[in-house]
Structure 1
Amino acid sequence: MRLSSMADYAVVTMTAAARHCGHARISAQQLADETGLPAPTVQKLVSKLSAARLLRSVRGAHGGLTLARPAAAISLADIIEAVEGPIAMAACSERLRTDTGRPDCSLESACSVRPHWPLVDAALRGALAGVSLSQLAAPTPTMIEMQA
């Protein structure tokens, strides 16, 4: 499994926002500058992350972006799902059903694995939910050594 670019960028953006947690609010442009992501991409991500109630936007002279809840209460799964929707590994997972309500898979009628995908999806989501934004935003030993 591989994250989409947008999910990856969402993690990078939220990690940068978390580093400012408790300080002054940060703008989308500042997040773009800090992460090296294009400003339009950050704006799109801010919109999705705000809709998912992971970021809070405040207007006005002292406005900007802040985390909607503590970094320790935001998981990697929360961030990925804000951009990608529910985590699912296979085409026959509930999330990937077509508009007709049927999976987009020609093997459905004979597939013995399909009933097990929810277990796999739950395990993957559980693993991602076990990684908090505060862990991702914490300096690594390498970062600390570079600052010294």
Structure 2
Amino acid sequence: MFRLTRLTDYAVVVLGQMSMQNERIVTAPQLAEETGLPLPTVAKILGLLSRQGLITSLRGAGGGYLSHQDAKEITVADIIQSIEGPIALTACVEGAVDNCSVENMCPMRGNWNRVNQVVADALKTVTLADMIDFENSFILEKSKSDVSSAKLN
């Protein structure tokens, strides 16, 4: 099963909170309180995101973290790669951290790269802004018609 860690899910929450107050310096304790996430988790996420350049870490008495990118500029792929590392569905795709013991004789060798690229490209089309737009995110046409007919009844 292809599954993202809870830490990646929480990173979307943290970045979403930061993007609602773009250009505001926030601390890990502030974000923990605002999001309801545990402080150690928030601190870890902030460290990973700042190392990858999605946010800026500011040291000193007035320090904290600063979101300098608009939510429309940050993709889900950016967030996943900051927390999880390269997007790799299997051990044999380019950029995977693990090695497959039968890679040299596998008939599928190289074919997973195409699938992996399609998934990565799809994740690059969804932005943080899409994720935090609760009213309009991912509403299917069928769902819209169901809602419309429910309002009529």
TM value normalised by structure 1: 0.80
Unaligned runs of 5+ in 2: 137-153
Larger-gyration structure (1/2): 2
Structure-1 separation of matches of 2:11 and 2:106: 34
| Aligned partner letter, 1:30 | Q
Residue aligning to 1:56? 56
Residue aligning to 1:26? 26
In structure 2, the residue corresponding to 1:65 is in which secondary structure?
Answer: strand
Residue aligning to 1:65? 65
TM value normalised by structure 2: 0.78
Residue aligning to 1:138? 133
In structure 1, the residue corresponding to 2:57 is in which secondary structure?
Answer: strand
Alignment of 1:74-93 (within 5 A): 74-93=74-93
Structure 1 residue 62 displacement after superposition: 4.2
Q: What stretches of structure 1 move > 6 A for 4+ residues in a row?
A: none
Report 1 or 2 for greater relative contact order, CA contacts < 8 Å, sequence distance ≥ 6.
Answer: 1
Structure 1 residue 140 displacement after superposition: 2.4
Unaligned runs of 5+ in 1: 142-148
Identity across the alignment (%)? 39
Structure-2 separation of matches of 1:13 and 1:69: 14
Structure 1 residue 39 displacement after superposition: 0.4
Post-superposition Cα deviations, 1:46-92, rounded to whole Å, max 9, x if no partner, equal: 01100100011223454332213222111010000001111010111
Structure 1 residue 97 displacement after superposition: 4.5
